[in-house]
Amino acid sequence: MSHHDHKEEHFEGSQFVRDIVIGMADGLTVPFALTAGLSGALDSNTIIITAGLAEIVAGSIAMGLGGYLAGTTEYEHYQAERKREYWEVDHLPEKEKEEIREILEEYGISPSLSSEVADDLAKDKDKWVDFMMRFELELDEPEIHQAKKSAANIALAYVAGGLVPLTGYFITDHPNEGLLYSSIFTVAALFTFGYWKSKIIGQRPMKGALKTTLVGVIASAAAYFIALWIQ
């Protein structure tokens, strides 16, 4: 096979996948822990379902708002840094050129060639600032509407994950039976989610699946036994 046929396989982590992971991980774990805890203290599935649905609504809103605020903060930070870089190339051009040379020399580029590249970049202010943002500050420009998309993705993923633990209580009449089915469904979902998450980011799928499942089981078990103890 020639070098032209070589295909490099790298995971290009999209914001969408990141949002789904954040929302789904909490959605599966938090409502599961809550319903497990309530199962140890209550004898009514109706109350557990009502509390679980209330938590899912509140949790999805909180997670969505958190994603939105994080996205807007990231965008505003990038724009503020970019504005500062424009000021620096206008008022401190030689200092900025020196920073370009230093960056290139760190990659093994000779001083003479680094100076040539710095001079060429300085001819285009926008490209100059782009270079400084990427290689000096290590910042990539966020999409302007990404905050809203992240909020929706995280919230919906939280709802989808949160409904899994509640399913067991919809199909049974007693909390202990509901907890049994809820545990089966949620453990299966946690294992599948952990496997998928690890596989898509290039890590060991089985290790990721077991780790994700263990976290969820520990959280729910702790909530259940604490509820029994308090009762």
Reported as a single tens digit per residue, the pLDDT across 81-123 is 999 999 999 999 999 999 999 999 999 999 999 999 999 999 9
- What's the pLDDT score for residue 148? 93
- Domain-embedded: residue 23: yes
- What's the pLDDT score for residue 221? 82
Overall pTM > 0.75: yes
- Domain-embedded: residue 107: no
Ranges of residues in the chain whose predicted pLDDT is under 50: 1-3, 10-12
Q: Would you say 212 and 193 are in contact if contact means Cβ atoms under 8 Å apart?
A: yes
- What's the pLDDT score for residue 231? 63
Q: Would you say 165 and 28 are in contact if contact means Cβ atoms under 8 Å apart?
A: yes
Q: Would you say 224 and 62 are in contact if contact means Cβ atoms under 8 Å apart?
A: no
- What's the pLDDT score for residue 1? 47
- Domain-embedded: residue 201: yes
Q: Would you say 32 and 216 are in contact if contact means Cβ atoms under 8 Å apart?
A: yes
Length of the chain: 231
Structural domain harbouring 180: 15-77+142-230
Q: Would you say 36 and 223 are in contact if contact means Cβ atoms under 8 Å apart?
A: yes
- Domain-embedded: residue 89: no
- Domain-embedded: residue 108: no
- Domain-embedded: residue 115: no
- Domain-embedded: residue 128: no
Structural domains counted in the chain: 1
Torsion sign over Cα 6, 117, 130, 136:
positive
- Domain-embedded: residue 57: yes
- What's the pLDDT score for residue 89? 92
- What's the pLDDT score for residue 5? 53
